[in-house]
């Protein structure tokens, strides 16, 4: 529908090689928050960033999180990303209780199960696009020619086949986010988590990035959780979760799913 300057032509791989869409198939939640709270500091500086949040996200769902600034969106996303552990409550991701893991286990968990995309400064400026995509692989093991081929394929999927060997500073903002998406995909994670991935982009570019995320999620059956400020962006997903003052304020289906369900 909306095509911006960043036209995601996707010659990529033939449709047939993509695993069958998994969305709505599994009822078992891939993300499971039970009465999760997070407080920072104590005494006078104590901040309750999240209060007793219950949230269950089934595999394959594209969930947007919205809320005013300071409402706890990033905190929630950090917890789900296994970047942080809750002060109270229980978080299970893909069957793993996050609270039970030490730092190394959390790190490996992130590396293997989660793809992360940030608002800006996602990439290492010293590496070219392909190597940035391959970074999670490099952290895991020595890169094989197969890995390289795969990285190029994923870059093709995100429409950057011709930018594969460009340095980061030679890419536009939208291209950088595409590289970040490709990097998030390289190890075929169960989850993709994005904190305002379009926050730093003009609206047209932002839209194309959202399209890409959506399509990726559908093609790979990946669960996506995205924090955003932007109502239109939020409606790109299947479900919209609203936060206010660290509490769940709303949880509704959006997009075609909502339309179909209504």
- Report the C-alpha gap between 185 and 12 in whole angstroms: 14
The region of 63-71, 94-102, 176-184, 247-255 touching ligand ADP under the rule CB under 6 A is 63-71
Burial state string for 95-131 with b = 16 or more CB within 10 A and e = fewer than 16:
eeebeeeeeeebeebbbebbbbbbbeebbeeebbbbb
Q: What share of the chain is helix, strand, coil (3-state, %, to 5)?
A: 40, 25, 35
The region of 18-26, 72-80, 186-194, 198-206 touching ligand ADP under the rule CB under 6 A is 72-80
- Report the C-alpha gap between 38 and 79 in whole angstroms: 9
Q: Residue 129 Cβ, how far from other proteins at the closest point, in Å? A: 13
| Position among 64, 81, 177, 223 found at the interface with other proteins (CB under 8 A) | 81
> Please, are residues 58 and 229 in contact by the beta-carbon 8 Å criterion?
no
Query: Does 130 contact other proteins by CB under 8 A?
Result: no
Q: Which run of H or of E encompasses 214?
A: helix 203-220
Query: Does 69 contact ligand ADP by CB under 6 A?
Result: yes
Q: Residue 247 Cβ, how far from ligand ADP at the closest point, in Å? A: 12
Q: Which is nearer to Mg ion, 34 or 48 (CB)?
A: 48
SS3 for 50? strand
SS3 for 139? helix
> Please, are residues 222 and 191 in contact by the beta-carbon 8 Å criterion?
yes
Residues 6+ apart with CB under 8 A from 2: 204, 207, 208, 211
Total residues in contact with other proteins, by rule CB under 8 A: 32
The region of 4-12, 21-29, 66-74, 177-185 touching ligand ADP under the rule CB under 6 A is 66-74
Query: Does 84 contact other proteins by CB under 8 A?
Result: yes
Query: Does 88 contact ligand ADP by CB under 6 A?
Result: no
Q: Which is nearer to other proteins, 127 or 258 (CB)?
A: 127
Total residues in contact with ligand ADP, by rule CB under 6 A: 12
Q: Residue 91 Cβ, how far from ligand ADP at the closest point, in Å? A: 15
Q: Residue 41 Cβ, how far from other proteins at the closest point, in Å? A: 13
Token pair for 187: 């190890």
Burial state string for 207-240 with b = 16 or more CB within 10 A and e = fewer than 16:
bbbbbbbbebbbbbbbbbbbbbebeebbbbbbbb
| Position among 150, 178, 183, 207 found at the interface with other proteins (CB under 8 A) | 183
Q: Residue 181 Cβ, how far from other proteins at the closest point, in Å? A: 13
Q: Residue 55 Cβ, how far from ligand ADP at the closest point, in Å? A: 14
Binding site for other proteins (CB under 8 A): 74, 78, 81, 83-84, 103-104, 107-108, 110-112, 116, 118, 120-127, 135-136, 138-140, 142, 167-169, 183
């Amino acid at each position: 529908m909306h095509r911006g300057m960043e036209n995601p032509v996707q010659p990529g791989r033939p449709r047939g090689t993509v695993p069958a869409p998994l969305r709505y198939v599994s009822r078992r939640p891939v993300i499971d928050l039970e009465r999760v709270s997070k407080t920072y500091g104590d005494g006078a500086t104590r901040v309750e960033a999240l209060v007793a949040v219950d949230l269950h996200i089934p595999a394959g769902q594209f969930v947007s999180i919205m809320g005013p600034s300071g409402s706890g969106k990033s905190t929630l996303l950090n917890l789900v990303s296994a970047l942080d552990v809750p002060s109270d409550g229980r978080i299970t991701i893909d069957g793993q209780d996050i609270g039970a893991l030490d730092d190394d286990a959390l790190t490996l968990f992130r590396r293997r199960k989660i793809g992360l995309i940030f608002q800006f400064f996602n990439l290492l400026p010293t590496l070219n696009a392909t190597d940035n995509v391959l970074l999670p692989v490099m952290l895991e093991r020595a890169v094989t020619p197969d890995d390289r081929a795969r990285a190029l394929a994923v870059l093709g999927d995100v429409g950057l086949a011709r930018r594969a060997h460009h340095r980061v500073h030679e890419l536009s903002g939208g291209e950088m986010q595409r590289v970040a998406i490709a990097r998030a995909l390289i190890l075929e994670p169960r989850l993709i988590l994005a904190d305002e991935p379009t926050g730093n982009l003009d609206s047209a570019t932002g839209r194309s990035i959202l399209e890409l995320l959506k399509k990726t999620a559908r093609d790979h059956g990946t669960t996506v959780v995205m924090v955003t400020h932007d109502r239109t962006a939020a409606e790109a997903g299947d479900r919209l979760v609203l936060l206010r003052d660290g509490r769940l304020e709303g949880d509704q289906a959006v997009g075609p799913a909502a339309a179909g369900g209504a």
